[in-house]
Amino acid sequence: MKEEIGVMYSEETLNKKIEEMAEQINRDYAGKTVHLICVLKGSIFFCCELAKRLTVPVTLDFMSASSYGNATKSSGKLKINKDLDEDINGLHCIIVEDIVDSGRTLSMVKKMLEGRNPASLKLCTLLDKPDRRETDVHVDYTGFEIPDKFVVGFGLDYAQKYRNLPYIGVLDFIEE
């Protein structure tokens, strides 16, 4: 099988959308400090680009969570691979995701973080696949709503490859 990638969103299109999202966050958090919670690994590219465009004061932390383990279907149990380094009590937090798919892991992460008493907690994703949603999760800031295609680039991977692509592409497998 040969892997072929077709461009879905160019680097220029991504940059424009991230700028728009940052402008909205700047308006919503005027006069406040926003604490970005980057969900590793895929969100790192998006989170950094978003943070660079924010004009409100920003603090940043990272977490890694999974409900899948080694399976392709969610186990329904949240596993924290890397927790936050800082206490979020009283902070205005935004969870930053690369893509919202089934919503299972993200809904569990949100519920867990709500228990830590942030002043506010919102969700921000570059990509949203509503056709794959299994759990109702409200996303406050969405870059692009996409169809049920396997996408890579800009942090998204296939077998740990393609994260470094500066665009979002659709991965197809072609028989040789």
Task: Tell me the per-residue pLDDT of 136-170, one tens digit each, with 9 for 90 and over.
Answer: 899 999 999 999 999 999 999 998 899 999 999 99
**Is 148 among the residues known to form the active site?**
no
Edge-to-edge, what's the strand order for the sheet holding 151-152? 2-9, 168-174, 151-152
Identify the active-site residue in 61, 87, 101, 157.
101
* Regions of the chain where pLDDT drops below 50: 69-74
Residue 67 has what pLDDT? 62
Backbone dihedral angles phi then psi of residue 109, each to the nearest 5 degrees: -65, -45
Can you give the three-state secondary structure of 139-166, one letter per residue? CCEEEEECCCCCEEECCECECCECCCCC
Report all structural domains of the chain as residue ranges with CATH numbers, in order of start.
11-146 (3.40.50.2020)
SS3 assignment, position 26? helix
Residue 69 has what pLDDT? 47
The closest alpha carbon to 133, from 146, 116, 124, 151, belongs to 146
